[in-house]
A = this chain, B = another copy of it.
Amino acid sequence: VRIFRSRIYTAVALLVLLLLIGVIGFKYVSQYSWIDALYMTVITITTVGFGEVYPLDPASKIFTMLLILTSIIIVGYALTVITEYILSRNNLEELKQK
């Protein structure tokens, strides 16, 4: 249980870091306002993807692709942690039933 708690903290910390990288990137690479940079980061990471807030130059497109790829790895890690947590809880209940 302790192992899962620390892994869940790691996953949450990585997601916050991802949000920070996104906001700073769109602010300084794409010259977005803070609110637009946060909005663009949220719709990118969650794959809602309404559309670029303002058209992106090539450097911004490369940054966006790197953000998407990093996002997949971190979200994938978070999903694995959650799945393993559900499975381990499931095993415990199974053992109790026996």
A90 at the B interface (CB under 8 A): yes
Task: Give the bracket for the number of chain A residues in contact with chain B.
Answer: 35 or more
Given A49-B49, A87-B90, 14 other A-B residues pairs in contact with their CB atoms under 8 A: A35-B61, A36-B61, A38-B65, A39-B61, A42-B65, A43-B68, A46-B72, A48-B49, A49-B50, A50-B52, A51-B51, A76-B82, A83-B86, A90-B91
Closest to A59 in B: B35
Q: Which of B43, B46, B80 contacts A86 (CB 8 A)?
A: B80
Q: Which secondary structure characterizes the binding site on chain A?
A: helix
Q: How far is the CB of A7 from chain B (nearest CB, A)?
A: 13
Chain B residues in 8 Å Cβ range of A39: 61, 64-65
